[in-house]
């Protein structure tokens, strides 16, 4: 995946007027609330199996 994933809205105020920030990769700024934030991909989660989702015995 080489394309930059862009957020659709500000996580603080919900406005959609976002621009890339010069702080680096994944940094964005919101023109509405004047906040800057950074998004970071942490990785993929392991698939959940039925054996570790149930707390008791199966019926």
Tokens 């964005």 belong to residue: 28
Tokens 């934030």 belong to residue: 37
Residue, of 29 and 50, whose pLDDT is higher? 29
pLDDT at 4: 65
Beta strand segments in the chain, E: 18-20, 27-30, 36-38
pLDDT in tens, 12-34: 999 999 999 999 889 999 999 99
Question: pTM higher than 0.85 for the full model?
Answer: no
């Amino acid at each position: 995946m080489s394309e930059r994933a862009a957020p659709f809205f500000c996580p603080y105020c919900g406005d959609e007027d976002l621009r890339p920030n010069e702080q680096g990769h994944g940094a964005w700024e919101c023109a509405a609330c004047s906040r800057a934030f950074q998004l970071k991909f942490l990785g993929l989660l392991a698939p959940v199996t039925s054996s570790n989702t149930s707390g008791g015995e199966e019926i």
